[in-house]
Amino acid sequence: NESSVARGFLLVFLSRLPDVDNGLHQDVLTKLLQPLILSLLDDVCLAPLQSGASIMTGTEDYSRRIRAWQSLCLLYRFVTSDIASEVCGKVFECMKQNLHGQIRFFIEVFTIQCSQRHPSVFGRKFTDEIQRSDISLQYISSLMIIGGNLLVGKYKEGFHSQFNDGESGINLKQVVSGIIPWLSSTQGFSRAIAQLLVYELIPLVMHNGHDEDQWFLQNLFQFLESNPEMKRLRKKQLKLFDRYNVDEVCTPEGLLGIGVDNGDEPDPQYIVDVVKKCLEEVYLESHRKEAPMWKQVEELMRSQAEAAAPTLVGPDDDGLVNFQRKIIPLDALDLALEESREQRLRNAFGRKRQSLVICASLVDKVPNLAGLARTAEIFSVDRLVIPDKNVCRMDNFKSISVSAEEWIQIEECKEDNLLAWLAKHRDDGYTIIGLEQTASSVSVGEVTFPEKTVLLLGKEKEGVPVQFLQFVDICVEIPQLGIIRSLNVHVSGAITIWEYTKQRRLLEMADV
């Protein structure tokens, strides 16, 4: 649209301005660019969050903030020494906000660029903040990312040169002492980056100290250096930081070339998510031999199936490839497959899952989906079906679901495929129950829920569209005593899930 085009032209204009020491007029710097930087920080980035303690993706507030930080990534060149201290204080204050990873990505890029230009100002602030014990996990994650890039990443050579001059604000001993406690963090990301930073910085600290006073650092370094899991993780992280290029981001091409989310706002790959994936890979690599029997059998069966497939031999091949196969006794195979089936029928706590499927394919608001995920995990439902599994990566989803997505089975089914999905589950013996107010709806407390039930939830405002009602076996509604027409879809779903659970528990008690 027109506003996007105008914004694009403005970003290009800012990028084409000369550097401060390369012909930029003083009035342009002091009367336009620097007031613009401070205005963006004060009026947008530090403005109170409109939604309270957190910010929602897709809102005007979210869009204004992420675009402001994108603009600042082009304006970092005009942060001179006379405003560096003021900018530094505002930037670190912004990091304390409860923001999505997409916004934090641009905050961290801007901070890294400013830190390279003003290491004494930003380095001293970083040193002070990394030693604090009262900061949030989001804040420490940003500090770890900034420290990782400046202290061990591709920008370390230029930054390390500041350590020995009198202008540097970095005190490595204080930095290491601030990072070491995070080696025991409950957050995997902070723990992973902490071990990398400590490993890289200990030799620099010990080089300037007395060995007899630093035996604990020597022992810690030797452990980090020799532990196989630490070595694997460190290797992956170093590659990650070596590829982290803030200079490419700080161009119109870099900013506008980033992929977008459903709201057409930039959706950069956040380093926290990448490191989490590294942690998962390292865990799987180190525990591959400890996999449960059903998993080993599954992998063995897959390899045998590949080995049994016909081998195409070309005219230049010497002959067929021979495979030596391990034979699995049938009783062991049956036992392993049965173990696999049992594990899939139980939740993380070991309790049997209920045969209830929550279909939220028509729900599009992230807080409602996150709340449903949390409720579904608490009551151990079989599956939660949502329109897009990518929402599980969003910060506002995670803050509401409190990791429920890691413990339940989440399936993706878009609205376009919902009719076929409902038909298939009806064929599989499920009863489709729609949560909707219709002329024939029955009170939720008067319905006997079959064991195999699909609960179909409607859209936030429109409810269940007519084309889907034809696949519903029965509609239920929640009695209301007030004047507001309907409950929030998550609340309605939670009440119905509890009613199903209550009925199943009473039946189980009756059987006993």
C-alpha radius of gyration, the chain, whole number:
28
Secondary element (H or E) of residue 477: strand 474-477
Q: What is the pLDDT of residue 411?
A: 94
Percentage of the residues of the chain whose pLDDT score is greater than 90:
42
pLDDT for residue 168: 52
Between residues 12 and 278, which one has the greater pLDDT?
Answer: 12
Q: Is the model more confident about 149 or about 285?
A: 149
> Confidence class of residue 432 from pLDDT cuts 50, 70 and 90?
very high
Mean pLDDT for the chain overall:
82
Which letter does DSSP use for residue 384 in this model?
Answer: E
Distance CA 451, CA 453 (A): 6
Mean pLDDT of 384-394: 90
Q: What residues have CB less than 8 Å from 49, skipping those under 6 apart?
A: 55, 61, 97, 98
Position 160 scores a pLDDT of 65
Q: Which amino acid appears at position 331 of this protein? A: D
- State percent of the chain over pLDDT 70: 79
pLDDT over threshold 90, residue 359: yes
Buried b (16+ CB within 10 A) or exposed e, 286-295: eeeeeeeebe
391 or 233: which leads in pLDDT: 391
pLDDT range class, residue 347, cuts 50, 70, 90: low
Q: What is the DSSP letter of 184?
A: G
Give the residue among 150, 148, 50, 159 at the shortest CA–CA distance from 97.
50
Q: What is the pLDDT of residues 395-421, one digit of tens each?
A: 888 889 988 888 889 999 999 999 999
Instruction: Inform me whether the pLDDT recorded for 503 exceeds 80.
Output: yes
Burial of 171 (0-12, 13-18, 19+ CB in 10 A): middle
Residue 260: C-alpha distances to residues 6, 51, 66, 101, 196 (Å): 18, 22, 12, 14, 31
The DSSP H or E segment spanning 359 is strand 354-359
What pLDDT, on a 0 to 100 scale, did the predictor assign at position 280? 67
Residue 328: pLDDT over 60 = no
SS3 303: helix
pLDDT value at residue 286: 61
**CA 336 from centre of chain:** 34
What is the mean pLDDT of the segment spanning 373-377?
94
Mean local confidence (pLDDT), 219-230: 87
- At 319 the pLDDT is 41
How many angstroms separate the CA atoms of 490 and 475, rounded?
17
Q: Looking at residue 304, what is its pLDDT?
A: 53
d(CA 105, CA 69): 9
Mean pLDDT of 379-404: 89
In whole angstroms, give the CA distance from residue 4 to residue 15. Answer: 17
Pull the structure tokens for residue 53: 């303690």
> What ranges in 345-441 are assigned the alpha helix state H?
366-378, 395-401, 418-427
- Report pLDDT for 25: 95
Tokens of 159: 């930054």
- The DSSP-derived string for 338-357 is HHHHHHHTB-TTSPBPEEEE
| Sign of the C-alpha dihedral computed for residues 283, 287, 292 and 293 taken in this order | positive
Q: How far is CA 288 from the centre of its chain?
A: 25
Confidence of residue 58 (pLDDT cuts 50, 70, 90): confident
Question: What's this model's pTM, rounded to 2 decimal places?
Answer: 0.59
Q: Tell me: the pLDDT tens digits for 259-306?
A: 887 678 888 877 777 776 766 666 666 655 555 544 555 555 555 555
In this predicted structure, the answer to whether residue 327 has a pLDDT above a threshold of 80 is no
Collect contacts of 375-379 with beta carbons under 8 A, ≥24 apart. 375/490, 375/493, 375/494, 375/497, 376/404, 376/408, 376/497, 377/347, 377/404, 377/407, 377/408, 378/404, 379/354, 379/497, 379/498, 379/501
Rounded-to-integer distance, Cα 434 and Cα 454, Å: 8
